[in-house]
């Protein structure tokens, strides 16, 4: 588990799990499905176990995979000729999350700076009190289809004068606009469900209606 760019804990999903056969006898498929609430592990397409991993527990961020040889017993003997072989490592992207300062995010207008309040899973927020400010989120969609769009509304900060904002959603059907009132509770705000083509033709742009704009994260959930 990670927080503030550091490992804070480690917990096995099922310490007593045994596949019932030697995994060294041939090639096998290992998979992990990571959602907002949990991690689910699979071996050869069969579910092994599931463990909770909430955004409040640790950082939900861009995924990396480290391939390594795991020693089952101590001491580990690295001698001999039994190399680990990996083949066809893949990511399956079902949903798209774009955070401030991540690929797919862009700022327009003046006076942008880091926001005073953390966003989803303690991630970076960006703020501007300029009337011409806007934040754009452009997903690189691999598979065209229907997606539910949500934006994380940051907790209002008295020193920032957060105001109402507008979300402009550009989808296959054209441009739609949703208002996000200033008194909206912190958390995900549902902006509606839309059809998006494959590629980068769709987007969400946040702009202030009055007061300051604090931008954090937008997600596109496949339906």
Global pTM value: 0.80
Per-residue confidence (pLDDT) for residue 156, from 0 to 100? 72
Domain boundary assignment for the chain: 1-92, 96-222
Residue 22 to residue 25: CA distance in whole angstroms: 6
Residue 129 to residue 9: CA distance in whole angstroms: 38
The answer to whether the Cα torsion of 154, 103, 138, 208 is positive or negative is: positive
Residue 145 to residue 137: CA distance in whole angstroms: 18
pLDDT in tens, the chain (223 residues): 766 667 777 788 888 889 999 888 888 999 998 888 888 999 999 999 999 888 887 766 666 566 555 545 566 565 665 566 777 778 788 899 999 989 999 999 999 999 988 899 888 999 999 999 999 999 999 999 999 999 999 977 666 777 899 999 999 999 999 999 988 999 999 999 999 999 999 999 999 998 899 999 999 999 9
Report the topology of domain 96-222: Jelly Rolls (2.60.120)
Residue 54 to residue 35: CA distance in whole angstroms: 9
Per-residue confidence (pLDDT) for residue 214, from 0 to 100? 93
């Amino acid at each position: 588990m990670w927080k503030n760019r550091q490992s804070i804990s480690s917990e096995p999903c099922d310490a007593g799990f045994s596949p019932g056969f030697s995994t060294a006898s041939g090639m096998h498929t290992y998979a992990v499905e990571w959602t907002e609430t949990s991690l689910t592990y699979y071996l050869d397409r069969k579910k092994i176990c599931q463990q909770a991993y909430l955004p409040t527990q640790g950082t939900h961020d861009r995924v990396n995979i480290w391939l390594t040889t795991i020693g089952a017993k101590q001491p580990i003997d690295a001698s001999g000729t039994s190399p680990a072989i990996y083949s066809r490592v893949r990511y399956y992207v079902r949903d798209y999350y774009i955070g401030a300062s991540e690929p797919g995010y862009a700022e327009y207008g003046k006076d942008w700076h880091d926001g005073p309040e953390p966003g989803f899973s303690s991630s970076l927020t960006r703020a501007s009190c300029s009337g011409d400010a806007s934040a754009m989120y452009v997903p690189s969609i691999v598979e065209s289809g229907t997606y539910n769009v949500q934006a994380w509304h940051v907790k209002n900060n008295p020193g920032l004068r957060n105001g109402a904002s507008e979300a402009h959603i550009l989808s296959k059907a054209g441009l739609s606009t949703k208002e996000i009132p200033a008194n909206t509770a912190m958390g995900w705000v549902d902006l509606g469900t839309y059809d998006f083509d494959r590629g980068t033709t769709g987007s969400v742009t946040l702009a202030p209606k009055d007061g300051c704009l604090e931008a954090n994260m937008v997600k596109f959930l496949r339906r």
